[in-house]
Structure formats: structure tokens, C-alpha cells
Amino acid sequence: MINSFEGKAPVIGDGSYVHPSADVLGNVGIGSGCWIGPGARLRGDYGRIEIGDNSSVEDNCVIHARPDEQTTIGAWVTLGHSAIVHNATVHDWALLGMGSIVSDWAVVGEWAVVGEGAVVIQGQKIPAHSIAVGTPARVLGKKIEEAYKAKWREFKKVYVDLAARYPAGLT
């Protein structure tokens, strides 16, 4: 469902798709070309949520923000199944693995990868182009290289394409 809350309605860009079982509530901005999957919950009641173009929010993700604060998710970001982002910032092209948690005031840098099940704790900064795994998340020595980016650019496009396929494809 896409609902207003206290007069604030979600603003959803052209070519973005919100699955019927997802909830997008209140003060939420979603760019164009985004895919919001089944069971996702984006709750902009006492805080705001902003998502850039071409990002995917897979099944059962939860996004929320603290009172009068904002969760910001950039462009071409992938939120794997059941990821949680709470009052945090995730920069462009980042990947949050399945079941990961990014907590209050944390920042995930551009092209950073958060491994499956990791917890980026309150205020933690994950540098751009790094990989962080575990709880609390620890940054591995290796960096995201061009080959990895090429693979993920393709995968991220699959979700932009899905956003176009779903309106007619879901029967």
C-alpha cells in the first residue's frame, strides 16, 4: 500500500515499481527506475526516507528514520532481501547483503559492500569501495575492483528492468 501520513504522501519517480504487498508510508521520496519488492516496509512517519534513482529494495526490507531525521539511500543501491536500514546513509552503488543491518547514523560509502547478515553499528562508517562483514561489521583488506563493479552494474540493471516488467507481468 502507498499511504499518506499526516498529509505527507510518498513521491515516487517515473518507472519505479512498488509491489502490492510492500508498504510505502508518508514522507518518502523514491527516484525513478526503482524496484520495491514484496513485503518491503518504508515507513516515513516521524522521519523521512529518500531513495535515489535505479535502486532496488528487495523482499522484506525495512527502512525507517528517527523523529525529524532522515534515512538517505543513494542511486543504484541494492538492498538484499530482508536488509534493515535505520536512520542511516547509504551512498550510490553500495550493496547491502541479505539480512544485513545498517543502524542509526551509520554511513556506507559509495560502492561499498556489506556482507550477508552483517551489522553496521550506530555511527559506524564503512569506507567507499570496501567490504565489511560480521557483527559488528569489520572492514576486510580488499577493495572493490572494476571486475566486481562490472558484474554488479549488470545485476543492478536487472532490477531496473524488473521495475519495467512488473506492472504488466504480475497477474
Q: Is 134 a binder of ligand COA (CB under 6 A)?
A: yes
Q: Is 158 a binder of ligand COA (CB under 6 A)?
A: no
Q: Name the percent of the chain in helix, strand, coil, to the closest 5.
A: 15, 40, 45
Closest to 48 measured CA to CA, from 91, 8, 14: 8
C-alpha cell at 168: 504488466
Q: Name the phi and psi angles at 107, rounded to 5.
A: -135, 125
By beta-carbon proximity to ligand COA, the closer residue of 25 and 51 is 51
Interacting residue with ligand COA among 42, 52, 115, 126 (CB under 6 A): 115
CB of 56 to ligand COA, least distance (A): 9
Residue keyed to cell 560509502 = 109
**3-class state of residue 162 by DSSP:** helix
By beta-carbon proximity to ligand COA, the closer residue of 31 and 115 is 115
Q: Is 113 a binder of ligand COA (CB under 6 A)?
A: yes
Q: Is 128 a binder of ligand COA (CB under 6 A)?
A: no
Site string for ligand COA, 16-55 (x = CB under 6 A): ----------------------------------------
Contacts of 168 (CB under 8 A, 6+ apart): none
Radius of gyration over alpha carbons of the chain, in Å? 15
d(CA 117, CA 146): 25
d(CA 112, CA 128): 5
Q: Is 80 a binder of ligand COA (CB under 6 A)?
A: yes
Q: Is 98 a binder of ligand COA (CB under 6 A)?
A: yes
Interacting residue with ligand COA among 10, 44, 47, 97 (CB under 6 A): 97
CB of 26 to ligand COA, least distance (A): 27
The footprint of ligand COA (CB under 6 A) covers 78, 80-81, 97-98, 113, 115-118, 131, 133-134, 140, 142
